[in-house]
Amino acid sequence: GDVVEEIQRTPRIGSGVVFFDGSKKLLEFVNSSGSEKTDKDWLDNFVNKSPKKFEIVLRDEKGDIKYQATGQLNHTITQSNITSDSDPSSQYQRSNHNKSIQLSDGNYLLIIGKGGTNGGSGGSYANGYGIVITTSVDTGGGMGNDIILLVLPYKHVTQNTPRSFKGWSTDHEICFINGGKFGTASNGDLL
């Protein structure tokens, strides 16, 4: 359908997501063709700094800004519990993100904590750190729908196997639709 075509046209390779605290870079995640993020600690600096205010910027391979929003942390975070008080292996459920962060554009930031060991089509979200920006946290189910921006390493951290999303590849560690939303629910096509 339309969502499938839109994702295919969206630049991902060479794109990067950066979190800032003022002018200080807290995190940079770059998606390069044919390579994958293998650093299981990639979000540690953000957690360790725990900025009260931060900015998220997504740039395409040309350096053009495709998404930008600000947010505030109003609670204490740990590597395991950033926007959820649940065990990291259960953080694939949106309803478990009781501390989601509403961003300046009205969307919600959900960050899956480090240490999860889950798998499967839904559970693949809860295996190591992950960033999901979504239009709603009130979906009553899994993570895989109404997604604006998804940032996940290609492989599960604990099993060293690709995440179980249909069409998932190293080129999709950053997924974004310009002005739209997408999903991985019901093992639907990502591409």
Determine the Cα angle at 146 with ends 144 and 147, to 5°.
75
Higher pLDDT, 166 or 153: 153
**Rounded to two decimals, what is the model's pTM?**
0.87
- How distant, in Å, are the alpha carbons of 64, 112, 162 from that of 78? 32, 11, 26
Is the confidence at residue 147, as pLDDT, over 60? yes
Summarize pLDDT for 69-112 with one digit per residue, the tens: 999 999 999 999 999 999 999 998 888 999 999 999 999 999 99
DSSP codes joined into one string, 51-71: -SEEEEEEE-TTS-EEEEEEE
Is the confidence at residue 14, as pLDDT, over 90? no
CB 151 within 8 A of CB 165: no
The predicted pLDDT at position 185 comes to: 63
Summarize pLDDT for 125-143 with one digit per residue, the tens: 899 999 999 998 875 666 7
